[in-house]
């Protein structure tokens, strides 16, 4: 006897899960007087269509009224069953949202967000700063873009560095033998264009000094320090040795 296949599907998703060889249904075979295959719950005798790598057959069924005929009772209902092909990205893809958050795809069908291969998704998890949304898809930034953003981030980091007023005054005294009062007098004798002496005095009374404060750059330049020297000061609480008197 030719083997008969029954095609199985998942209880929840109705997706095709494979086939098995049917066994005989003894009761129905006895009643009908012929071999009847046993079709278990969540299986069908209808063969699913061929499908691609990111597709899956999904079982569906419904009932409809049977067209009346001499052999059928009027309005008799029959079940119609078949398969439809759905998209299935769960195996090979991740979903990425506009904030570059990576999520697993757990459902069959079209996906919200942007599709990326799983190997790309893993890299985005570790280095989201290397990617961007452009033209409706997730793309990797160029080396030039990454370098520019890293430089801007480093610049911003340095601008937010801070020291206490005591740290700054101590470092300047060690390097130049000057305290804040000496600096005010020095500025009065060598006034740079646009610098307000009274405003400077107020700034020097602050508890904390931020690298991004424009007065830091102005006074540093006046005392002979470069921007790199001032960065060094805020990183190390002292000025570079080459400038120590």
pTM for this prediction: 0.67
Q: How far apart are the first and last CA of the chain?
A: 104
Round to whole Å and give the CA distance between 57 and 51: 7
Quote the mean pLDDT of the chain: 91
More confident: 78 or 126: 126
Q: What is the DSSP string of 153-209?
A: HHHHHHHT-EEEHHHHHHHHHHHHS--HHHHHHHHHHSPPTT--HHHHHHHHT-SEE
More confident: 109 or 79: 109
Any long-range contacts for 221-229 (C-beta under 8 Å, 24+ apart)? 221/192, 222/186, 222/187, 222/190, 222/192, 223/172, 223/176, 223/183, 223/186
Q: What is the pLDDT of residues 197-219, one digit of tens each?
A: 999 999 999 999 999 999 999 99
**Is the pLDDT reported for residue 71 higher than 70?**
no
More confident: 2 or 36: 36
Q: What is the pLDDT of residues 72-97, one digit of tens each?
A: 555 678 889 999 999 999 999 999 99
**Is the pLDDT reported for residue 112 higher than 70?**
yes
């Amino acid at each position: 006897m030719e083997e008969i296949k029954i095609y199985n599907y998942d209880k929840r998703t109705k997706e095709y899960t494979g086939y098995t060889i049917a066994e005989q249904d003894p009761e129905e075979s006895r009643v009908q007087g012929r071999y009847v295959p046993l079709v278990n719950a969540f299986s069908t005798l209808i063969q699913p269509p061929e499908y691609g790598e990111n597709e899956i057959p999904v079982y569906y069924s419904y009932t409809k009224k049977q067209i009346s005929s001499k052999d059928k009772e009027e309005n008799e209902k029959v079940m119609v069953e078949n398969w439809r092909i759905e998209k299935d990205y769960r195996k090979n893809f991740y979903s990425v949202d506009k904030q570059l958050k990576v999520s697993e795809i757990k459902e069959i069908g079209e996906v919200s967000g942007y599709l990326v291969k799983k190997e790309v998704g893993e890299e985005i998890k570790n280095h989201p700063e290397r990617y961007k949304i452009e033209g409706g898809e997730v793309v990797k930034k160029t080396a030039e873009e990454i370098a520019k953003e890293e430089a801007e981030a480093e610049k911003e980091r340095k601008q937010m560095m801070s020291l206490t007023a005591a740290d700054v005054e101590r470092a300047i005294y060690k390097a130049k033998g000057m305290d804040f009062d000496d600096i005010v007098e020095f500025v009065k004798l060598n006034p740079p264009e646009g610098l307000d002496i009274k405003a400077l005095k107020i700034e020097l009374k602050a508890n904390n000094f931020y690298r991004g404060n424009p007065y830091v750059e102005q006074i540093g330049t006046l005392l002979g320090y470069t921007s790199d020297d001032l960065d060094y000061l805020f990183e190390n609480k002292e000025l570079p040795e080459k400038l120590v008197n």
